[in-house]
Chains A and B, each alone.
Chain A
Amino acid sequence: MNGSAPETLHRYRIVYARGEELRYVGHLDMQTVWERTLRRARVPIAFSQGFNPRPRFHIAAALPLGFTSLCEIADLWLIEEMPIPNLLERLQKASPPGLSIQSIMEVPLDWPALQTQVLQAEYRVDFFNDLPLDDLQQKVQGILSQASLSRVWRNKSYDLRPLIHAIEIIPPSSLKPFPSLRMLLSAREGATGRPEEVLSTLGIDATEVRVERTRLLLN
């Protein structure tokens, strides 16, 4: 791009779901999955400068391994403007199994970095097996009534309690034989509540549940 006229960039915000096929894909690998989708779609990608140029594509918040999501958000920069329906169609066509794009909108270039805009994330936890509702209720109440919950993550101790905004039990229904949990956790940079940590505090084995991110709240 040396010597040529500076490109006018366009910034698009993409909301997408991550299904079953992408459950075990880590955050960095997801970046690559997206880069290849963009290449297949042949959209006019803006590349980062430097020795190893990579598409300018930022994912809002890492999704833990093993989770699915209804509501991932990412920002994409293009060097040309594309009509939204056209961009949507090209990306949808190029998407791998498990990636479904829900909406795209153009956002101002000068908006702050997406990662800094994320405030909270909501998760739904489904159980594989039945468990006594009373017991679960007691455990949840137990946590919510605490003023602080000291935990250790990667050799650092921290307080989990202020990162929990809400936990709610959804009782079994005709559609679902077992109860679910809905939890709203902080997702700010440097203050991220991890659903696995909450589950562990509740004494729930992470391999006995499935977790889906259902909402990301932005500033």
Chain B
Amino acid sequence: MLTPEQIEQHLHRILLKVQKPGRYVGGELNQTLKDWQSVSTHIALIFPDIYDLGLPNLGLAILYDQINQRPDALAERAYAPWTDMEAEMRKAGLPIYSLESKHPLSAFDILGFSLPYESLYTNVLTILDLAGIPLLANERDESSPLIIAGGHAAFNPEPMSRFIDAFVIGEGEEVIHEIINVHQAWKESGTSRNDLFVRLSAIPGVYIPALYTVDYHPDGTVQAIRPLIETAPIPIVKRIVPTLPPPLTRFLVPSIDIVHNRIAIEIMRGCTRGCRFCQAGMITRPVRERSVDEIIQAIEEALDLTGYEEVGLLSLSSSDYTHIRELVDRVSQRFGDRKLTVTLPSLRIESFSVQLMDQLHDLRPGGGFTLAPEAATERMRQIINKGISSHQFLETIRAVFDRGWNTVKLYFMIGHPEETLEDVQAIVDLCHTVLAEGHKRVGGRARVHVGVSTFIPKAHTPFQWVAVDSIEQIRLKQDILRRGLRAQGFKLTWVEPEVTLLEAWLSRGDRRLGEVILRAWQLGAKFDAWQDHFNIQLWLQAFNDCGLDPTFYSHRQRSLDEILPWSHISTAVRAQYLKQDFLWSKEGRLRNDCRDHCYACGILPEFSDLRLKTPPEAWKCPPVKVKKPLQREATL
């Protein structure tokens, strides 16, 4: 194994040959560099894409901070090297190393991968390979680090289950400490790697794929998911923190330009709106908010610690934050003269949102006003549970132009269940109406930017049973959009259908997908999230080589009784609730904001112990009178 000094020497010779060498050296403001010998547990936190995208990842930043606060552990970072650097590293025989101390990743006790989306999967294999660690979990022994992963994509862990030793389902702030504790006790005991797995499986929210087996029906659907040892839990229920811990303020400040240069403060976690396509809204329940005081103080502290010129107030639906008006007021009073930009994403479509942005005055970002109607007809919006009327939408649009914005950015999705070509044409028509409103109000300066993604039925949502549009359907719909939005004043962006298909396969797949991922990687798939690198042919060949049919995963309407590949993972939202919501969607029946009325999604009974220990105002679930404790739905 190379020493950190040897790695540094190699780097000096390589770095001037690659683009943006500043990605590979660490040493940023606010990095933590501990004495390697002084701690017993060494963890490398890894974002499997380049530094520029990985550094701003809030989840890893929180874990970095959490772990480094412990005196007995250290966390360092690694990212995927860009292809030029990978080639140089391979040429020099240089292993992937951590940015802080330059230890090779194989010297760490635990490698923790963030998996926010599926198109990063092949990069995980590249990184394991560059670390000299066996790719397959069952080929590793006690000398290999423990490979763990978490993030939203881990809510269907099956496709990556061959490569990852342990998944964390849900929020990581607390469970990471439990994993470290268990690892330390195991290391002292000197027992087998399998014993470590058994110990880890006792931690709520930790899923060890090796402790389960999957049986399939002859038609390829799942027959059963069975634990191999008695103590392995089924289902594996996600972890949540009862209240949000104080926000991170000591952000890393890179010395080179990256995608998001900002302080990110989560003002609220979860969302009560229940849009049926939205996985985040289903898996991040219940809604927990931070207080205005806590947020203001965190911004103040973070500004002093970082010097950043932008603050992002993050949530799934900013307008729904209970004290949003007070927050915006106080932010603009306190920071209005500091030459900052404050972003407030995911505003609801109502004129109140326009007032809010207006209230930010000098702090509001330049550029357009962003709204996400997701669909253009009321019928379609009822199906997806995005309960806004066309009247309300146009009112908001008028307010936007009236208050001085020239550009509106609109986000839509095509491919929703039961969508017709008329619904797609309606997107075109609506955008024309919006531009016409703009012309009336701001004249020729009016611009409408239209971003159209393609719907993928994600695991754990009410739409998890439905099929993805075929590539021909997607093309047809995108043609309608391209033809309809050619006029001056429009800018249209869309997602290539092949990209959607890959994401659909990987997010809806079962364990057998692991073989496909490995094969695709062997064929050269990497950086699949990058248009220049993504090559669908490699994936089609990989499916073919593995004897699997990709359409089985993407284009098959699944029966409501089918055991889904992720059905042993519980988000605490009951399967019965999702089914009911799916049936409601077929009737075009809306489910209103659940702050006003509890629809018994399952969160409260699952986490009743936590709820009792938490102040009533901490969760935005309304009080419910429960006569007798609800029985947990059998998920299998």
Give A96 to B253 CA distance when docked, in angstroms.
9
A interface with B by C-beta (< 8 Å): 20-26, 28-30, 32-33, 35-40, 42, 47, 51-53, 65-66, 94, 96-98, 128, 206-208, 210
A191 to chain B, nearest CB (A): 25
Contact of A65 among B21, B339, B366 (CB under 8 A): B21
Instruction: Tell me whether B489 is interfacial, beta carbon within 8 Å.
Output: no
Who on chain B is nearest to A98 by CB?
Answer: B27
Contact B27 A21 (CB under 8 A): yes
Give A24 to B256 CA distance when docked, in angstroms.
8
Contact B307 A94 (CB under 8 A): yes
Contact A96 B12 (CB under 8 A): no
Provide the residues of chain A in CB contact with B12, threshold 8 Å. 128, 207, 210
Contact of B253 among A24, A36, A210 (CB under 8 A): A36
Q: Which of B71-79, B298-306, B480-488 contacts A (4 or more CB under 8 A)?
A: B298-306
Contact B366 A38 (CB under 8 A): no
Given A96-B29, A210-B12, A25 and B17 contact (CB-CB distance below 8 Å): no
Contact B22 A42 (CB under 8 A): no
Give me 6 A-to-B residue pairs in the complex whose CB atoms sit less than 8 angstroms apart, sorted by A's number.
A21-B255, A24-B24, A32-B257, A65-B21, A66-B16, A207-B14
Give A32 to B309 CA distance when docked, in angstroms.
10
Number of residue pairs across A and B with beta carbons under 8 Å? 78
A200 to chain B, nearest CB (A): 13
Contact B305 A40 (CB under 8 A): yes
B 3-47 binary contact with A (CB < 8 Å = 1; else 0): 000000000111111001110110111010000000000000000
Contact A38 B307 (CB under 8 A): yes
Contacts A20-B27, A39-B308, A66-B16 supplied; 13 other A-B pairs, CB < 8 Å: A21-B27, A25-B22, A29-B255, A29-B256, A30-B255, A32-B261, A35-B307, A36-B309, A39-B307, A39-B309, A40-B305, A40-B306, A65-B21
Provide the residues of chain A in CB contact with B31, threshold 8 Å. 97
Contact-size category for B: 20 to 34
Contact B27 A36 (CB under 8 A): no
Who on chain B is nearest to A32 by CB?
Answer: B257
Give A97 to B14 CA distance when docked, in angstroms.
22
Provide the residues of chain A in CB contact with B306, threshold 8 Å. 36, 40
Given A96-B28, A96-B29, A97-B29, A25 and B307 contact (CB-CB distance below 8 Å): no
B 497-529 binary contact with A (CB < 8 Å = 1; else 0): 000000000000000000000000000000000
Provide the residues of chain B in CB contact with A98, threshold 8 Å. 27, 255
Given A21-B27, A39-B303, A94-B307, A65 and B257 contact (CB-CB distance below 8 Å): no
Give A133 to B258 CA distance when docked, in angstroms.
43
Which of A33, A98, A208 has the most chain B CB within a 10 Å cutoff? Answer: A33
Contact of B255 among A33, A38, A207 (CB under 8 A): A33
B85 to chain A, nearest CB (A): 12
B44 to chain A, nearest CB (A): 20
Who on chain B is nearest to A23 by CB?
Answer: B25
Who on chain A is nearest to B9 by CB?
Answer: A128
Given A35-B307, A40-B305, A40-B306, A22 and B255 contact (CB-CB distance below 8 Å): yes
Contact B16 A42 (CB under 8 A): no
Contact A207 B305 (CB under 8 A): no
Provide the residues of chain A in CB contact with B256, threshold 8 Å. 24-26, 29
Contact A29 B22 (CB under 8 A): yes
Who on chain A is nearest to B31 by CB?
Answer: A97
Provide the residues of chain B in CB contact with A39, threshold 8 Å. 303, 307-309
A49 to chain B, nearest CB (A): 12
Which of A26, A128, A208 has the most chain B CB within a 10 Å cutoff? Answer: A26
Residues 332-352 (chain B) with a chain A CB within 8 angstroms? 339
Who on chain B is nearest to A22 by CB?
Answer: B255
Provide the residues of chain B in CB contact with A210, threshold 8 Å. 12
Give A28 to B31 CA distance when docked, in angstroms.
22
Provide the residues of chain B in CB contact with A51, threshold 8 Å. 366
Provide the residues of chain A in CB contact with B20, threshold 8 Å. 24
Give A35 to B24 CA distance when docked, in angstroms.
23
User: Which 9 A-B pairs give the minimum distances between C-beta atoms?
Assistant: A36-B307, A21-B27, A39-B307, A40-B307, A96-B29, A24-B22, A24-B21, A25-B255, A66-B16
Given A206-B16, A207-B16, A210-B12, A24 and B25 contact (CB-CB distance below 8 Å): yes
Contact of A47 among B253, B307, B339 (CB under 8 A): B339
Give A28 to B305 CA distance when docked, in angstroms.
22
Give A94 to B308 CA distance when docked, in angstroms.
13
Who on chain A is nearest to B13 by CB?
Answer: A207
Contact A96 B255 (CB under 8 A): yes
Contact of B27 among A26, A66, A94, A97 (CB under 8 A): A97
Given A26-B256, A96-B29, A96-B253, A36 and B308 contact (CB-CB distance below 8 Å): yes
Provide the residues of chain A in CB contact with B13, threshold 8 Å. 128, 207-208
Provide the residues of chain A in CB contact with B16, threshold 8 Å. 65-66, 206-207
Residues 283-323 (chain B) with a chain A CB within 8 angstroms? 303-309
Who on chain B is nearest to A205 by CB?
Answer: B13
B82 to chain A, nearest CB (A): 14
Which of A32, A38, A42, A52 has the most chain B CB within a 10 Å cutoff? Answer: A32
Who on chain B is nearest to A51 by CB?
Answer: B366
Provide the residues of chain B in CB contact with A52, threshold 8 Å. 366
B4 to chain A, nearest CB (A): 14
Give A20 to B27 CA distance when docked, in angstroms.
9
Who on chain A is nearest to B261 by CB?
Answer: A32
Give A22 to B261 CA distance when docked, in angstroms.
18
Give A210 to B17 CA distance when docked, in angstroms.
14
Give A25 to B303 CA distance when docked, in angstroms.
22
Give A58 to B255 CA distance when docked, in angstroms.
17
Who on chain A is nearest to B29 by CB?
Answer: A96
Who on chain A is nearest to B14 by CB?
Answer: A207
Provide the residues of chain B in CB contact with A37, threshold 8 Å. 307
Who on chain B is nearest to A206 by CB?
Answer: B16
A102 to chain B, nearest CB (A): 19
B 245-279 binary contact with A (CB < 8 Å = 1; else 0): 00000000101110001000000000000000000
Contact of A42 among B28, B304, B308, B339 (CB under 8 A): B304
Who on chain A is nearest to B341 by CB?
Answer: A52
Who on chain B is nearest to A25 by CB?
Answer: B255
Provide the residues of chain B in CB contact with A28, threshold 8 Å. 257
Who on chain B is nearest to A208 by CB?
Answer: B13
Provide the residues of chain A in CB contact with B261, threshold 8 Å. 32
Given A37-B307, A51-B366, A96-B253, A24 and B15 contact (CB-CB distance below 8 Å): yes
Provide the residues of chain A in CB contact with B304, threshold 8 Å. 40, 42
Provide the residues of chain B in CB contact with A208, threshold 8 Å. 13
Give A66 to B304 CA distance when docked, in angstroms.
29
Give A80 to B256 CA distance when docked, in angstroms.
30
Provide the residues of chain B in CB contact with A26, threshold 8 Å. 22, 256
Residues 100-148 (chain B) with a chain A CB within 8 angstroms? none
B362 to chain A, nearest CB (A): 10
Give A171 to B29 CA distance when docked, in angstroms.
37
Give A191 to B307 CA distance when docked, in angstroms.
35
Provide the residues of chain A in CB contact with B24, threshold 8 Å. 24
Provide the residues of chain B in CB contact with A38, threshold 8 Å. 307
Give A39 to B255 CA distance when docked, in angstroms.
15
Provide the residues of chain A in CB contact with B29, threshold 8 Å. 36, 96-97
Give A111 to B17 CA distance when docked, in angstroms.
40
B295 to chain A, nearest CB (A): 20
